[in-house]
Amino acid sequence: MAWRSSGATNRDLIENLWNNKLIKDARVKEAFLKVDRAHYAPSHPYDDRPQSIGHSATISAPHMHAYAVESLLPYILPTETNPAPRVLDIGSGSGYLTHVLAELVGEHGTVVGVEHIPQLAELGERNMGKSAEGKGFLSCGRVKFRVGDGRKGWVEKEAREGEEETVERRGSGWDAIHVGASAVKVHDELVAQLRAPGRMFIPVDDEEGGYEQHIWTVDKDAEGRVEKKKLFGVRYVPLTDAPK
């Protein structure tokens, strides 16, 4: 139903995603409603389709962002035992999904967007600065953009105010990792950086070769055991070295 989810306004788009059951949780719907995709998409922001944002990168279709957030939601929301969730957004690109994730992690949560292309990290931060709420997330440290090789994840050692106890108890890893480009494999560094429990949502090239990719979830339970599940076919840009 994704092709029927486009709308004339941001609310139209999100309501259509909801009515087509691509967004299923009311908390996810509310988060998407708070983030105007027009601040992030170069043109036709309320079409449910991917778009180029330059530097061989894209902003994914809204329904793919919805799938990702719904999948990661249990690990994104603050709880009594984890009041300061940490989320890593690899291949943050336009910054759109980074902003949506930030709406869900709560007052003490942190979302870090990682890009291997400095201009895209700057783009994400600039786009977030288009709204008062986005500016607030940047200024308080709820959202940070970093430049690095996403295949190696990211270590954000500095704890922001309100998450010190959680970082001391659970480490400086990530409760949830979203990967917005297709990896040739599930990189060991990313799995190692998942907290226990934690979940990663990642597109991976099929082992058989060719041009097929599938979304995988990688779950780490409280004892550190890892389970990988292959979900559905997709088409993402590759998670590779930055263009020369």
Catalytic residues: 60
Residue 39, phi then psi, degrees to nearest 5: -75, -10
Q: What is the number of alpha carbons within 13 Å of residue 210 lying toward its C-beta? A: 8
Q: Which residue from 243, 236, 200 is spatially nearest to 60, judged by alpha carbons?
A: 236
Give the list of residues 6+ apart from residue 28 with CB closer than 8 angstroms, or none: 66, 69, 70, 73, 104
**Residue 204 carries which DSSP code?**
E
Cα(76)–Cα(5) distance, integer angstroms: 25
- 177, 193 contact by CB (below 8 A): yes
Residue 144, beta-bridge partner list: 112
**Residue 148, helix vs strand vs coil:** coil
User: Considering only CA atoms, which of 97, 184, 190, 193 is closest in space to residue 145?
Assistant: 97
Q: What does each C-alpha distance from 144 to 11, 80, 141, 156, 167 come to in angstroms?
A: 27, 24, 6, 10, 17
Q: Which residues 6+ apart lie within 8 Å of 225 measured at CB?
A: none
Q: How far apart are CA 82 and CA 168, in angstroms?
A: 12
Three-class SS state of 33: helix
